[in-house]
Structure 1
Amino acid sequence: MQLNLADGTILCIDLCETHNFNWLESNFGRIFSVFDQQDSGNISFGCIRSNSERIFIKYAGARPSSFDGLPSDAVARLHRATTVYQDIQPHEHLLAMQMAFSVEETGGFVLVFPWLNRAECLHSHWVYPPPAKYEHPQSPYYRFRQLPLEQRLIALQAIFSFLEHVDRLDYVAIDFYDGSIMYDFDLNTLKICDIDLYEKIPCRSALPPWGSPRYLSPEELSGDSLLDHRTNVFRMGACAFGLIGGELDRSRLKWDASDSLYQIACRAIADHPRDRYTNATEFLYKWYQARETLKANSQSKQ
């Protein structure tokens, strides 16, 4: 679909059918970016308001070509997400929702967020699909993996801090993976986005599950299994393997950090939930304890 903007620019959006987007410019100013390759049914836009403020708009109600479901289901999910954001924010590493509202003209629903000027998504599949994600020198994931180990460990600590916050609030981080991580390479800071599908504990798995196979726990793949704090623990371990290990190759050979951290990550991703840490706080305590021991040993040798 071609969208004719007020300044004469023609914007192409990959949709199954035409859709009314007149409300977008009239409410939020000039559109400068479109993200239409998500399987959630949402389409996102970067807009510049009259005061030069940049914002990120997430919209459900259209039918993107990459989406197999019903627009009404996408609208219901995004509407439900407002409660998730209200429950979980604020957190220093969460991209916070600014507002939410229904679009009368289309029956759609909108969430509004601040625009992150320099941050890049670590799973930019629409620009760097695998294997380019792992090999292209401009790929955000590739560049992240080239950072010094300590810098990546600091980034992991930020992610773990957020996931522990989520766990303490009795939510399961459904659909969390590296596509949820926005990294600023200039400032070496990160934000977590896309918490739309997080669910209150206890909840049940659904097939097909939301998320990446690289981050999914065994119970999420079985259908109608209980998801709880130990599912979050698995997610934290999988994230560690994703950022300082070999993703699904969880061998010691692919692990960049210490043996002690490797053993902690391995327990976190145990196949059976009862063999993992009880919750995110216990995992994080063990992880921090190992980090502090390593630092102390390093300083004593100097």
Structure 2
Amino acid sequence: MYTYTVSGHSIQLKAPHDLSFLNSFDEVFTVHDDLISGNLCFGVKKNNEKLFLKYAGAQTKNYIGTTENSVQRLINAIPLYDKLKHSALVNLRYHIELKGGILLLFDYIDGLPLGPLPEYKKALKNIPIYYRYIMLDNMFDFINKASHLDLICAGISDKSLLFNISNYSLTLTSINSFVSMPFDNSVARLSGSSLYLPPEAYKDTILGEKVNVYIMGALAMTLLGNRNTNSYEDWESSKELYNTTIKALTNNPQLRHKNPQAFLNEWREGVKNIPDNMIVP
């Protein structure tokens, strides 16, 4: 293992790599070198502004694939950030192709991941339910947009979703693993956390919009219930919205909503039916 030190932070790699691109920033205040994606991620400062940097090309310590593949995934994601531009998605400022890899620079998202630490989940549940409805609606709108562009929102996990307890926002920080549909899961398995992947994602089958419906249901359960149990006893909202969520989480994809638009329509109708005294902050 090769160790580099930048702004007092340690970076461990499997092989030597040129990290001099970091010298163009005033400060590196956060380092994530343990990701399984093959990317190095940094919190950096330039002219006193915080930015988020994602880099592929180095042999990171927990990545089992090739650097060529990690670089190509980032390159493939670049046009998607433009197509999918949305307030629920982190904003890509620009990218630079370097001799040893590819660098993407984003707005910095000041927030906490949805998990896995219990204190993160507690902070999430302390957000007034009114704002959690808004956070969900915005993310659902984004997933619906992706679906209209024939994309499956693969790769989503608690760590890739950041929530801010001050402005009550929920932001997706990575779309590197999004794939076009229909997706042949017998050729390459769909990536993502088991909390957000439906049962068919582990089978040799063709995948489509029903996966996105399942992800929407999983998000609703994460923000308003208990994703580990999916039980009504842990649900904080109406029975109507619980039924909508459970339908989206059904193991049989044919029993879920037809598509994300159908889920979103039913969800919004359910929110409208909640008495004001149950949701007003």
TM-score normalised by L of structure 1:
0.85
Please give the secondary structure, in 2, of the residue aligned with 1:14: strand
What is the letter of the counterpart of residue 11 of structure 2? I
* CA drift at 1:4: 4.6
Aligned partners of 2:249 and 2:256 also within 8 Å? yes
State yes or no: 1:62 paired with 2:62: no
In the alignment, what sits opposite 1:119? 111
Map of 1:1-302 to 2, 5 A cutoff?
Answer: 1-5=2-6, 9-26=7-24, 28-49=25-46, 51-89=47-85, 91-104=86-99, 106=100, 108-116=101-109, 118-123=110-115, 133-134=117-118, 139-205=119-185, 208-223=189-204, 225-295=205-275
What is the letter of the counterpart of residue 34 of structure 1? V
Whole-Å separation in 2 of the counterparts to 1:120 and 1:231: 25
Whole-Å separation in 2 of the counterparts to 1:175 and 1:32: 26
Aligned partners of 2:132 and 2:168 also within 8 Å? no
CA RMSD of aligned residues (A): 2.0
Aligned partners of 2:94 and 2:105 also within 8 Å? yes
What is the letter of the counterpart of residue 107 of structure 2? P
What is the letter of the counterpart of residue 12 of structure 2? D
Can you list the C-alpha shifts for 1:1-47, whole angstroms capped at 9, x where unaligned?
Answer: 44354xxx443112222221012213x33222111121100011111
State percent identity of aligned pairs.
27
Aligned partners of 1:178 and 1:239 also within 8 Å? no
* CA drift at 1:82: 0.9
Whole-Å separation in 2 of the counterparts to 1:30 and 1:86: 28
* CA drift at 1:120: 2.1
Q: Which runs of 5+ in 1 are unaligned?
A: 124-129
Whole-Å separation in 2 of the counterparts to 1:287 and 1:177: 22
Can you list the C-alpha shifts for 1:43-99, whole angstroms capped at 9, x where unaligned?
Answer: 1111112x222211100111121111111111111111112212211x122111111
Question: How many aligned residue pairs are there?
Answer: 277
Aligned partners of 2:4 and 2:12 also within 8 Å? no
Whole-Å separation in 2 of the counterparts to 1:33 and 1:100: 19
In the alignment, what sits opposite 1:127? none
Q: Which runs of 5+ in 2 are unaligned?
A: none
What is the letter of the counterpart of residue 24 of structure 1? L
Whole-Å separation in 2 of the counterparts to 1:251 and 1:120: 25
Aligned partners of 1:3 and 1:10 also within 8 Å? no
Please give the secondary structure, in 2, of the residue aligned with 1:191: strand
